[in-house]
Structures are given as C-alpha cells and as structure tokens.
C-alpha cells in the first residue's frame, strides 16, 4: 500500500540511516507524523544546519563547525603526538576513555582497493605532510584490527620508514589482546595471536 508522495519520500529518506530498513523507516515516519511533529521540525532544522555548516577540520580532518576544530585549538593538547583513527566515532571512544592528551588525525575510512579507496581518498599524503611540517615525534596508529585497518597502518608506517623520509618519527600501534574481564575460552584465535605477540614482562 502506498501513502501520499510526501509520506513515501519521508520513509525513503529515513532509509539512508545505517541499519534502518523499510519497516523501521515506516515506524519512524509514522511516529514523527502522529506524535512528534515538534521533534520532527527540530530534526529537520538540525539536519539542514549540519549538512550546510559541518565541514572537515583543516588540521585533523574531524567534523567541525570551524576551519580548525576545538581539539586542535586546545593549547593543553600535546601537538607532538598524533593518534591516527579511521572515524570520528573512534576518536570519540578514545576521548571518552579520558587518558590520551595528544592530537588526532581522522582518516574517514581505510584503504580498500576493492572499493576504489586509495591513499588520496583518506588523506594519507596530508597526514605525511603534517608529520613533516609540524615535527611530529610520535604517530600512534589506532586503525581498527581488521584486514583493511592493518593494511592501512602498515602502508602509513612503510611510507614514514622509507629511506627517502625527511623526518624520523616514532611509530606505535595500539596493543591488541584479551579484554579486561575476558576469559581465554571465549577469545577468538586472532585476538589470542595478537595477545601473545604483544606480551610484556609482568610488572613487579
């Protein structure tokens, strides 16, 4: 059964959200139209403002309302240390942990030749220029522990370790291993392998 063109367009528009299928989109649309008109108008305004006003930070590529985001402008951050992540949600997770006080670079993706995503599409050359121009002392590769994430991390490391590199920088990788509170019997082989490779002496 088809509804009016406006309702159908609303449903189809909601389906662009991740994990939202036809039924979920219909429930969302009906809720907004039946009980949430004020919320729907606020949502429409926020979406219009965000689509028009949110850009990429000139320094770290994260989402920002201004040319340089608040994190990059913060004088209390360690600008000599840069953590490379794949997405803004990864950056947010690290910030919520509360321990890291350095800077960031958000790739907005990972290398994926199958999908046609190359180094230029995720700003790797821009990252390398930043390392060179700003005299970065440590680059933390915090890409996800997936095949694509590992390939992206190795590509960046290889570019910085090349004999032609004009600036030497300490390259580190986030440790991968058994989660706190986890049991070995429930840990997959890939995680166990990384845990063994990353083992270290027990602190006294």
How many CA atoms within 13 Å lie on the side-chain side of 58?
A: 4
What is residue 181's three-state secondary structure? coil
Of 60, 151, 41, 63, nearest to 105 by C-alpha is 60
pLDDT value of position 80: 93
Domains of the chain: 5-53 (1.10.8.420), 63-173 (3.40.1360.10)
Q: Which two tokens stand for residue 41?
A: 């108008």
Q: Which two tokens stand for residue 148?
A: 């694509």
pLDDT value of position 201: 74
Enter the pTM of the model. Answer: 0.82
Q: Scanning the structure block, which residue is given the tokens 């350095």?
A: 102
pLDDT value of position 191: 76
What are the residues whose beta carbons fall under 8 Å from the beta carbon of 31, sequence distance 6 or more?
A: none
As a whole-number percent, the residues of the chain with pLDDT over 70 amount to 95
pLDDT value of position 145: 85
Q: Distance between CA atoms of 136 and 134, rounded to whole angstroms?
A: 6
What are the residues whose beta carbons fall under 8 Å from the beta carbon of 169, sequence distance 6 or more?
A: 131, 136, 137, 138, 139, 160
CA angle 56, 61, 67 (to 5 degrees): 45
- pLDDT in 10s for each residue of the chain, 204 residues: 567 889 999 999 999 999 999 999 999 999 999 988 899 999 999 999 999 999 999 999 999 999 999 999 999 999 999 999 999 999 999 999 888 999 999 999 999 999 999 999 999 999 999 999 998 999 999 999 888 999 999 999 999 876 555 567 899 988 877 777 777 777 777 777 777 777 777 654
Q: Distance between CA atoms of 71 and 64, rounded to whole angstroms?
A: 10
- Is the Cβ–Cβ distance between 82 and 102 less than 8 Å? yes
């Amino acid at each position: 059964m088809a509804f009016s063109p406006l309702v159908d367009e609303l449903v189809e528009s909601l389906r662009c959200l991740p994990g939202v299928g036809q039924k979920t989109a219909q429930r969302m649309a009906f809720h907004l139209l039946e009980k949430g008109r004020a919320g729907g108008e606020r949502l429409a305004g926020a979406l219009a403002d965000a689509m028009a006003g949110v850009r990429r930070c000139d320094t770290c590529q994260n989402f920002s309302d201004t040319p340089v985001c608040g994190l990059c402008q913060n004088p209390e951050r360690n600008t000599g240390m840069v953590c490379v992540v794949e997405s803004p949600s990864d950056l947010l997770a690290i910030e919520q942990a509360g321990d890291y006080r350095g800077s960031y670079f958000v790739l907005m993706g990972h290398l994926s030749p199958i999908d046609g995503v190359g180094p230029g599409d995720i700003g790797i050359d821009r990252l390398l220029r930043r390392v060179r121009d700003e005299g970065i002392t440590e680059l933390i590769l915090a890409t996800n522990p997936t095949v694509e994430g590992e390939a992206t991390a190795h590509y960046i490391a290889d570019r910085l370790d090349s004999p032609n590199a004009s600036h030497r920088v300490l390259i580190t990788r986030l440790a991968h291993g058994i989660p706190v509170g986890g049991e070995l019997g429930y840990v997959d082989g890939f995680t166990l392998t990384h845990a063994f490779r990353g083992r270290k002496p027990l602190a006294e």
